[in-house]
Amino acid sequence: MKTLRALRTLAAPRTGPHPSNFTSPTFFLRPYSAQPQEDSDHNDSDSVFNSADYAIPTGVSPSGAGDDRAPPQPTWSDEHRRRADQVLFGDKPMRVLEVEEDVEEEKRRVLAKMLLEAALGDPDDEDYNDEEKAVREEDQKSLAVGIIGAPNAGKSALTNYMVGTKVSAVSRKTNTTVHEVLGVMTKGDTQICFFDTPGLTLTCSGFPHKDLKARVESAWSAVKLYDVLVILFDVQRHLSRPDIRVTKLIERMGAQAHPGQKRVLCMNKIDLVEKKKDLLQVANQFKDLPGYDRYFMISGLKGSGVKDLSQYLMEQAVQRPWDEDPMEMSEEIMKNISLEVVREKLLNYIHQEIPYEIEHRLMDWKELRDGSLRIEQHLITHKQSQRKILVGKKGSKIGTIGIEANEELRSIFKRDVHLILQVRVK
C-alpha cells in the first residue's frame, strides 16, 4: 500500500504558483495573478462561496433591474397635495375643484419659465455631454505620484481618499499592501495617477533589510520613476512610540534628492493627536532636511489637509497625454480592485500568519449579457489545517468573507456582481 501511495505521488502533476503575466505601468511584478487562469481542482461544497446562493438584500440592483415587488405607492392625501401646491405656486388660497384647470395652467407657466431660465443661464458641469467634457490631447496634463512609507503609515487610506473609491485594501494588519496599486484621479484637464506601494523599512543603520522580499525590493528600485514622491509617516505613533527605522527612512529620502522629482513629507493621522502643538514639534524635527519641497499635515482617513495636498499635486502636473480613460475603469484596474477587496475581508477575518501565506488567484472574469460581472477567485492554502480555518464551520467563514466582498464590489462597480470564492489546498 505504501508503494502505491508513493507511485501515485510521483505520478501526480505538480502544481505550483502561476507566474503573473501582468506588469503595472511602473514595472512591478504582481505577486499574485490578476489574469484568469484555468484550474480543474475541486473541493467539497463548504469550501466554495457562490453569491448566487445568497439573496441580494437591497430591493433594486445596481444595474437598475428591480425585484418582483410592486413599486411603493404615494402616501400623501389629495388635501395635503393641494396644500403643497399652494406653497409652491403662490400664497393665494387654492380655488375649488371647478377651477382646477387654471391651477394646472399655472403649473405649466411656472415650468416653462424655469426651462427658459435654465436655457439662458450658464450650463452646469453636470449638464455637459461627453463631447463637451472631453479634453483635447494637446491640453492634457498628467502626474505620477508614488506614495511610500513604513508599514501601517496609512498609504492605502490616503490613496483611496484621493481617488474617491476603494482601489487598495485597508487593514490594521501590517503589510496589507503586497504589490503596487494604481488609483486614478481626473479633474478638469489634469489626471493624477497614484501608486500605493508596499511598506518600506530600513535597519537601524539606515539601510534596507537584506531579507526583504522581491516585491519590496522592486518598490525601492522604482522610487525614482515617479514625478512626485510622497513620504508618509504616522505622526501619532511617532509621538507615542518613536521608531528609529522610520526616522532613518525620512532622513534618507530627504538626503537623496533626485533631479526632476519633487518630494513632499506628509505627517499622517493628525486626527489622532490630542495636543496639536506636538505637531509643530515633529515638523521642526524634519524642517532642515534639504530634499523636501513641502510639508503637509493630513489625515488620509478623515480628509483633513488633503485638499491642500491635492491642490499642490495639481500644480505639479506636466503637459502630456493621459494614461487612463477618465470616464470608466479599465478592466485591468477592476480585476485588481476585486482582488484587493477580497484580500481586505480576508485580513479582517483570518489572523496570525495565515492570510500572508494564502495564494490568491483570479481564475475567471466574465461580463455577462445583462451587464453583470462573474468573478471567480481561488484561495490556495499550504496546509489542510489552514483550509479548515479559512472555510470555517460549514463554510461560515468563507461565506462571511464572500458576502461582504460581493456587496462592496457591487457598490464600487455599480452593477451586479456574481462572486465565487473557492478554498483549495496546494
SS3 for the chain is CHHHHHHHHHHCCCCCCCCCCCECCCCCECCCCCCCCCCCCCCCHHHEEEHHHCCCCCCECCCCCECCCCCCCCCCCHHHHHHHHHHHHCCCCCCCHHHHHHHHHHHHHHHHHHHHHHHHCCCCHHHCCHHHHCCCHHHCEEEEEEEEECCCCCHHHHHHHHHCCCCCCCCCCCCCCCCCEEEEEEECCEEEEEEECCCCCECCCCCECCCCCHHHHHHHHCHHHCCEEEEEEEHHHHHHCCCHHHHHHHHHHHHCCCCCCEEEEEEECHHHCCCCHHHHHHHHHHCCCCCCCEEEECCCCCCCCHHHHHHHHHHHCEECCCCCCCCCCCHHHHHHHHHHHHHHHHHHHCCCCHHHHCEEEEEEEEECCCCCEEEEEEEEECCHHHHHHHHCHHHHHHHHHHHHHHHHHHHHHCCCEEEEEEEEEC
Per-residue pLDDT tens, the chain, 426 aa: give them: 444 454 444 444 444 444 434 334 433 334 444 555 555 444 466 778 787 777 655 444 454 444 444 555 555 556 655 666 665 555 555 444 445 566 667 777 777 766 666 666 554 444 444 444 678 888 999 999 999 888 888 888 899 999 988 888 776 666 666 677 888 999 999 999 998 887 765 555 555 554 445 555 555 667 778 899 999 999 999 998 888 878 888 888 888 777 788 999 999 999 999 888 899 889 888 888 888 889 999 998 888 899 999 999 999 999 999 988 887 788 888 999 999 899 889 888 888 777 778 889 999 999 999 999 999 999 999 889 888 988 988 888 999 999 999 999 999 999 999 999 999 998
Question: Cα–Cα distance between 13 and 10 in angstroms, integer?
Answer: 8
Cα distances from 425 to residues 43, 312, 345, in angstroms, run 9, 49, 20
pLDDT of residue 267: 92
Cα distances from 127 to residues 124, 130, 414, in angstroms, run 5, 10, 21
CA angle 20, 146, 204 (to 5 degrees): 95
Question: Cα–Cα distance between 406 and 414 in angstroms, integer?
Answer: 12
pLDDT of residue 249: 83
Does the CA dihedral 394-400-405-407 come out positive or negative? positive
Report yes or no: 145 and 183 within 8 Å, Cβ to Cβ.
no
pLDDT of residue 416: 93
Q: Domains of the chain by range and CATH?
A: 45-56+327-425 (3.30.300.20), 141-319 (3.40.50.300)
pLDDT of residue 401: 92
Cell readout for 183 is 488609483
pLDDT of residue 365: 95
Question: Cα–Cα distance between 155 and 288 in angstroms, integer?
Answer: 24
Report yes or no: 142 and 318 within 8 Å, Cβ to Cβ.
yes
Of 68, 49, 48, 67, the C-alpha closest to 58 is: 67
pLDDT of residue 115: 67
279 contacts: CB under 8 Å, gap ≥ 6: 235, 267, 270, 273, 297
pLDDT of residue 320: 92
362 phi, psi to nearest 5 deg: -90, 115
Q: What's the distance, CA 417 to chain centroid? A: 17
- Pairing of β 190-196 and β 181-187: antiparallel
pLDDT of residue 64: 47
User: How deeply is 359 buried, as exposed, middle or buried, from its count of CB atoms within 10 A (0-12, 13-18, 19+)?
Assistant: middle
Question: Cα–Cα distance between 55 and 403 in angstroms, integer?
Answer: 10
Q: What's the distance, CA 311 to chain centroid? A: 21
Cα distances from 24 to residues 27, 33, 239, 329, 365, in angstroms, run 5, 12, 36, 15, 19
